[in-house]
Every structure is written in structure tokens, then in C-alpha cells.
Amino acid sequence: MLSHPSTRQRELQSIAFSTINSTRFPGSQYIPTKTNLRRRHLAKKVRGTLMAIIRERQDAAAAKEDRGYGNDLLGLMLEANAAAGGGEKSMTMDEIVDECKTFFFAGHDTTSHLLTWAMFLLGTHPEWQQRLREEVLRECCGGGGGDTEALPNGDALNKLKLMTMVLYETLRLYGPVSLMARTATADAELGGVRVPKGTMTMIPMAILHRDADVWGAGAGEFDPLRFRGGVNKAAAHAGALLAFSLGQRSCIGQDFAMMEAKTTLAMILRRFAFEVSPEYVHAPLDYLTLQPQCDLACFLKLLD
């Protein structure tokens, strides 16, 4: 089934990933190969769907309907763009569509796979699952107020110290983004190796995150307590956890991702106990984001 825009966007990502190592030459993207034709067709469909959503928002704002451009990220972007009034700071329609695609890819698959791996680790470490459940029941039942059905509020989420440690440890062992690329903008020297300007370097975060020189002898083990002194004190180097990258181009959505993951896990933990299916095959696959190759089946048990 390929009717949903997110399904099309996923197929586009999958084409992009599978052609990363293909030989390319100027103009090769215009040759009518099966993959190129499919890519063009999907890109057109995704753009059409996004344009329809954007036009609907613009019409609602023009008609001065209460909802205006909408109170989500797209709404804020369209509102800011309208305020820029076509000046230097405004975005073209193509740029807005591209932002929508970026946020879908950067913001959706990453967080959902962080949750997948957290479920895997908690499903295979029942003692940690129980510790987190106790923390959740203590700190945020009903946003901190005792109602087990209500969403946890921001204050309650901030009190989930063990949960934060488990998520950092999940990001270390199974960070959804396992590789980053950077191009040297000037001649440089890196660990004694000359890196000429223009060289593309790859930063293998997944490997660095399991380096015993940095994380200690138990680098391969699940040990959330290594983060008890904070993220900067967990390893030999303060910037060792690279899951969201560091510096100017680090992840813009990292706080949001942590909040989403904490909220979702809190809601699952207080209602269900879970374990990983004995049929699960452990085969993490780096398919733009790190994910289980054959899904992750879990058994959930409703708690009293």
C-alpha cells in the first residue's frame, strides 16, 4: 500500500539509501531508469500532498478562520513566512516543502527507533523495567497528581532521573543515527593524519560509543548508572555521547525527542509489563536510522 505520504517518503528514503554507493556522473539522475522514474513519481506525489496541506492552511488563514495557519510546526513556519512578507527572510514554497520532509525524516524515524531500542533493552532487563515503573508511578501518575490516565506534565517528566539515564544508555548502545558525515572546510590534521580541504570524513558514532578506551571495560554492557553524574561525566571525554551530535549543527529537536520518548515510555510502563518475544532475532540494521532488521515483537501484560 503506497497511499500515505509518509509511506512514500519512506520509500524515497529507501531508494536514497540503496543508491548511496551507486556510481554517479553528471546528469545520471535524469536517465529514465526504473529507480529514477520511481523516485521522480514518489517525489511528485509527496510534494503534491504537502502542497495540498499547505494550501489548505493558507486558505484558512486568508479566510480568517480561528485555526489560522494551525498551531503546529508547519503553522508557525507559514505564519513567520507570511510576516516576512516576501522579503529577504522569507522562504520559497520549495523550501517549505523541503523543511516538512526534513522534519518528518529527522523527527519521526529517529525518535520511534529510540523507543524501539529502549523497549528492547527494558524488555531484556526486567530489573530496570521495574525500577523505571516505580519511578514513573512515584513521580508522574496523572502529570504528578495521581490520575493514572492523564498525560505526565513537564515537571513530572523532569523528575524521571532513571528514565533519562536509560534513554542516554539506549542512545549510546543503539543510537538511531549511527554515522555522520562532515566535509573539511580547510586543510587540517586529525590524530596525526593530514586531511586536505574538501575531504569528506565519516564519524562512526556507533563504534565510538562502544570504545572501551572511552567508556571503560564495560563499554558493551547495558549500564544506565554510568550516566548518574550527568551526560558529560559518563565517559573519559565530556563529549563522548554523540547521539545528537555536538556543537552548532547538533540536533535541533533533541529536547523534544527526549520529552516524547519519556512521555511514551512513562505511559507504557505504568499500564503494562512487557518482554521481548523469544522469536526476536537480534540483527540491528543501519538503514539511514538504526533499526531491528526483523521488527521487535514484544508481549505486553496489562497491569492491575
Binding footprint of ligand HEM on the chain (CB under 6 A): 102-103, 106-107, 110-111, 114, 175-177, 180, 243-245, 249, 251-253, 256-257
- Alpha carbon of residue 299 to chain centroid: 24
Cα-based torsion angle of the residue sequence 260, 269, 229, 203 in order, rounded to the nearest 10 degrees: -50
Question: Does the annotation list 298 as a binding residue?
Answer: no
- Cα–Cα distance for residue pair 301/298, rounded to 1 Å: 10
**244 labelled catalytic:** yes
Grid cell at residue 127: 530489573
C-beta of 3: minimal distance to ligand HEM in Å? 25
| Alpha helices (H) in 125-253, listed in sequence order | 126-139, 154-158, 161-174, 205-208, 212-215
- Please give the single-letter amino acid code of residue 181: A
Q: Which is nearer to ligand HEM, 42 or 171 (CB)?
A: 171
The yes-or-no answer on residue 100 being catalytic is no
* 240 vs 243 by CB, closer to ligand HEM: 243
Retrieve residue 217's grid coordinates. Answer: 571495560
Shortest approach of ligand HEM to residue 177 CB, angstroms?
4
Closest distance to ligand HEM from the beta carbon of 1 (Å): 26
Distance of closest approach, residue 142 Cβ to ligand HEM, in angstroms: 25
Catalytic residue among 49, 110, 164, 170: 110
Residue 98 or residue 275: which is nearer to ligand HEM going by CB? 98
What's the angle, vertex CA 217, arms to CA 215 and CA 223, rounded to 5?
65
Q: Which residue's CB atom is positioned nearest to ligand HEM? A: 253
> Of 229 and 247, which CB lies nearer to ligand HEM in the complex structure?
247
Give the type of residue at 30.
Y
DSSP 144: T
Other beta carbons within 10 angstroms of residue 224's beta carbon come to 22
Which residues line the annotated binding site for heme? 251
Positions annotated as catalytic residues are 110, 244, 251
